[in-house]
Amino acid sequence: MTRRTALRLGVLGGATMAGGRRLSSLLAMDLPRAEAIPRFALPLKIPPDLVPTARKSDRDEYTIVQREAAQEILPGRVTKIWGYEGMFPGPTIRVRRNRLTIVRHTNQLSTPTAVHLHGGINPPDSDGFAADLVTPGSSRVYTYPNRQRAATLWYHDHAMDKTGENICRGLAGFYLLEDEEEQSLPLPRGPFDVPLLIQDRAFSADGSFAYDAARHMGFEGDVMLVNGVPWPKMDVSTRKYRFRLLNGCNARLLQLALNGADPLMLIGTDGGLLPTPVTITSLPLAMAERADVIVDFSRYSTGAQVFLTNTRENPALARIVRFDVVRREADDVLVPSRLSDPGFLERPKASTTRTWSFRATFSFHDLPTPIVWTINGQRFDPNRSDAAVTLDRVELWRFRNEAPVRLLGSPHPTHVHLAHFQILERNGKPPLVHERGWKDTVALDVGEDVLVMLRFEQFRGRYMLHCHNLEHEDRSMMTRFDVT
């Protein structure tokens, strides 16, 4: 009897799930329907740190094998994942500012891949340009100088036309860059500094990921995973925690809140710490955006259950993770009112302004999926450069989400490689509260217009700008620019 047959017959079904339901009753069902998956019963997992294969005076060297593996994501079922080191999420890479990271990736999958360090300021041949593919059986060395501020970055797949599926099946992990400024602050550390990769997924009857590449509006699932665990719970004590929130969904916007509207202290954005903390009660987070927040559980009593929710969704999908306050613990550390000097740019009196318009185009040549997503009316062509920008010069870029036909309206979170940017205006008004730090990705809803200021530094070469709805990206909503 195979393991799967055993599972289907409920041989392993002696365990009792949360709410008193027998595991066997779940396994007897043909489909792992989202409602049948236990909620807030499985403990949150923290991805392990990747150990360097060599530490030298100026650098850390790592090797990562991208391979298929079997992982128990849903209780009692096995999901085939495509993982960095066979793990979903991938192992966390922790690095220090100005210390070189060398990662040798070997592709043992049956599909081409490309690795992008999202938010990294890296040379063009290490940036994961969509056409720089690591073909099955081959390797590629990525070099990350880390000459940038401390920030919550993430590494993920970026293979041309394949990113949505490759990330959906598991190719994503955290890359946490630390520096002296941040280390000098009394922020929660170690087990109290918790990365949370939030993703939605769908599963087939056999436990495999259900991914439909033809979903050109964007893939959405009916199971919320955090660090690869469906609807997890985490035991906490009555003290402050730092959560590094990452929207790793292919195409789902999040509007995060704690217990409806309890306070969250926002301390950082995509590009690192803010100058000062800001207290918020609701946090929009589009695909690939990150936010660092402090949650002070001392305001709850032991026994309390605190939910992180996505208030955009109906109750079935709204609650994402439950924090169970289980211990009293003294915590007299105060988050300082002055966090960092972000080194913001000055807006120049005169500068080059470029406009990037994101829209759907209807194409009869592409039947049966006739929607093509374009930037300035063009599809991505890795051999065509759509802008030459000068190194070290400040430019203004305007992102527009144009939806001439309402049916084809869709958010297009915009991500720029190489440079972080400052948001100057959102629809002619000041940026939202959580957008007032360094950003590399900005939400862009239907009809919106966002003006940013940016300066490309350190490297010349070809880079990309694209929508971070992964199915839009795979259906050509990318453009190449060159830093000269």
Chain residues in the site for Cu ion (CB under 5 A): 412, 467, 469, 472
CB of 147 to Cu ion, least distance (A): 30
Rounded-to-integer distance, Cα 109 and Cα 380, Å: 25
Q: Name the pairing type of β-strands 478-483 and 461-467.
A: antiparallel
Q: Give least dist CB 218 to Cu ion, A.
A: 7
**Cα 346 to chain center, whole Å?**
29
Tell me the closest approach of the beta carbon of residue 226 to Cu ion, in angstroms.
Answer: 24
Burial of residue 78 (CB within 10 Å: 0-12, 13-18, 19+) is middle
Q: Which is nearer to Cu ion, 340 or 469 (CB)?
A: 469
Residues recorded for the chain: 484
User: CB-wise, 324 or 386, nearer to Cu ion?
Assistant: 386
User: Please, what is the minimum distance in Å from the beta carbon of residue 167 to Cu ion?
Assistant: 15
Q: Which helix (H) or strand (E) holds 103?
A: strand 100-107
In a 3-state reduction of DSSP, which class is residue 443? Answer: coil
Q: Are 164 and 219 in contact (CB under 8 A)?
A: yes
CB of 215 or CB of 393, closer to Cu ion:
215
Task: Match 């994942």 to its residue by tokens.
Answer: 81
Provide CB contacts within 8 A for 224, sequence distance 6+.
198, 199, 200, 230, 231, 310, 317, 320
Closer CB to Cu ion, 225 or 251, in the complex: 251
Q: For Cu ion, which is the closer residue by CB, 27 or 450? A: 450
Compute the Cα dihedral for 425, 426, 428, 430 and give only its sign: negative
Nearest to Cu ion of 105, 472 (CB atom): 472
Phi, psi of 27 (to 5 degrees): -70, -25
DSSP secondary structure string for all residues of 54-87 = EE-SSEEEEEEEEEEEEE--STT--EEEEEETTB
Rounded to the nearest whole angstrom, what is the least distance from the CB of residue 360 to Cu ion in the complex? 9
In sequence order, the β-bridge partners of residue 325 are 236
> What are the b/e assignments for 199-213, b being 16+ CB within 10 Å?
bbbbbeeebbbbbee
Residue (126 or 166) nearer to Cu ion, CB: 166
Distance CA 479, CA 484 (A): 16
Check: CB of residue 167 under 8 Å from CB of residue 85: no
Q: Residue type at 166?
A: N
In the complex, what is the shortest distance from the CB of residue 443 to Cu ion, in angstroms, rounded to a whole number? Answer: 11
Smallest distance from the beta carbon of 125 to Cu ion, in angstroms?
27
CB of 361 to Cu ion, least distance (A): 12
Nearer to Cu ion, 256 or 467 (CB): 467
Decide whether 150 or 467 has the Cβ nearer to Cu ion.
Answer: 467
CB of 32 to Cu ion, least distance (A): 29
Structure tokens at 446: 């239907």
Q: What is the distance between the alpha carbons of residues 164 and 159, in angstroms, rounded to a whole number?
A: 9
- What type of residue is 61? E
Neighbours of 19 (CB within 10 A): 9
Here the tokens at position 81 are 């994942």
Question: 389: which 2 tokens?
Answer: 């920008």
* Distance of closest approach, residue 327 Cβ to Cu ion, in angstroms: 44
- Minimum distance between the CB of residue 124 and Cu ion, rounded to whole angstroms? 24
CB count, 10 Å around CB of 471? Answer: 26
DSSP state of 340: -
Q: Considering the complex, what minimum distance in angstroms separates the CB of residue 450 from Cu ion?
A: 14
Give the residue with the Cβ less far from Cu ion, 169 or 472: 472
Shorter beta-carbon distance to Cu ion: residue 178 or 448: 448
Q: Is 281 helix (H, G, I), strand (E, B) or coil?
A: coil
Nearer to Cu ion by Cβ, of 107 and 414: the residue is 414
